[in-house]
Amino acid sequence: MTQSKQPKALVTFWGTRGSVPTPGSTTEKYGGNTSCVTLNYDNTDIILDAGTGVRALGLQLVAEREKEGAAKRDLDLNLLLSHTHWDHIQGLPFFRPAYLKGTKLTVYGSPKKEQFLQSILEGQMDVNYFPVDMNAFQADISIKEVKSNAITIGNIQVKLQEQIRHPGGSVRYRLKCGRKVVVYATDVELNTMFEADSPTKEDERLAAQYRRFVHNADLLIADGQYTTEQYEPKKHLKWGHTSIPLLVKVAYEEGVKQLAVFHHDPQNSDSLLDALWGEYAPEYGGMDPAMNVFWAREGMTLAV
């Protein structure tokens, strides 16, 4: 008896930059849009964060729908927010499917906010900041503050965990697609728990928790904003982001198969990211077992 073929999980990067959009000649290759990634598996679409990269995603979704003509189907989309800092939500007002009737958009996020999630999203479309408010959205939008540590979306099992080593907090997601696992863990400062001068019990607990969450992931998309030189205590301590050498080391120790270094610093040019890729990829690709390390690039799609 032949086994049925498992569908592939397709991951696409629409925005890979951290903190602020960085258009220009020095960021053309890896992209200047802020955080947005999609995961498609078995007819289920999940969007991870709604930075400025979500605008191009929306335009493509609408174009594909219009091309289908009479056979077009309504869009059923799920948006998982890691947190509500500007670089992770600022594309939402420009997300064209949200303005179309027939679109269903479910937004998931953490309830651990000083304000409710809906209030935060509505606030960025206040008339003082944006010419239209959320009432202009014609889509069926529901906002869910997830209070459990596991949910199911279509045929994707999602585990989530709070990351407290980021100002205001952040959520990481572990998405199980059949036998494959994709982890999205941006905006966390691993250095404060793994490299503390005098680690506390809390540091050790958080480090162990992170290790368990990313363990054996087929693809880990993770915060690697700073080089060693950029991550100096006087400059970036407690800014909420991780140095690249530490990220790669921990990922390898936990048996990660592929590591996408993500949330690139606004200052880091294409040439610098090329150099980093050229430094780390051969080293970890030549180990036994090997780990594929690469720098996330706008427009990149891979099958997991």
The reported pLDDT for the residue numbered 115 is 54
Q: Decide which of 117 and 64 is more confident.
A: 64
Supply the mean pLDDT for the chain. Answer: 93
Closest CA to 103 of 65, 155, 131: 65
3-state secondary structure 45-89: EEEECCCCHHHHHHHHHHHHHHHCHHHCCCCEEEEECCCCCHHHH
What's residue 113's pLDDT? 58
**pLDDT at residue 116, rounded to an integer:** 64
pLDDT band with cut points at 50, 70 and 90 for residue 4: low
> Could you give the percent of the chain with pLDDT greater than 90?
80
Q: What share of the chain is helix, strand, coil (3-state, %, to 5)?
A: 30, 25, 45
Give the model's pLDDT for residue 197: 87
pLDDT value of residue 237? 87
Can you tell me the distance from the alpha carbon of 42 to that of 6, in angstroms, rounded to the nearest whole number? 9
The whole-number pLDDT of residue 217 equals 98
Among 15-24, 31-40, 131-140, which is the least confidently predicted range? 131-140
Sheet holding 170-177, edge to edge: 150-153, 156-163, 170-177, 180-185, 219-223, 258-262, 292-295
What is the model's pLDDT at position 71?
65
Whether the pLDDT of residue 70 is over 80: the answer is no
Helix (H) / strand (E) element for 108: namely: strand 104-109
Tens of pLDDT along 101-158?
999 999 999 877 545 678 888 889 988 889 988 889 999 999 988 888 999 999 999 9
Calculate the alpha carbon distances from 295 to 77, 103, 111, 133, 272 in Å: 26, 32, 31, 36, 11
Q: Where are the alpha helices (DSSP H) in 124-254?
A: 191-194, 201-214, 233-236, 244-253
Structural domains in the chain, sorted by start: 10-303 (3.60.15.10)
* pLDDT score of 114: 47
What is the per-residue pLDDT across 183-214, written as a single tens digit (0 to 9) for each?
999 999 999 999 998 999 999 999 999 999 99
Work out the average pLDDT over 243-268. 98
pLDDT in the model for residue 1: 45
Question: CA-based angle 280:282:285, to the nearest 5?
Answer: 100
Q: Please give the average per-residue pLDDT across 86-91, as a whole number.
A: 95
Is-contact 38 73, C-beta < 8 A? no
Residue-wise pLDDT for 274-298, tens only, equals 999 999 999 999 999 999 999 999 9
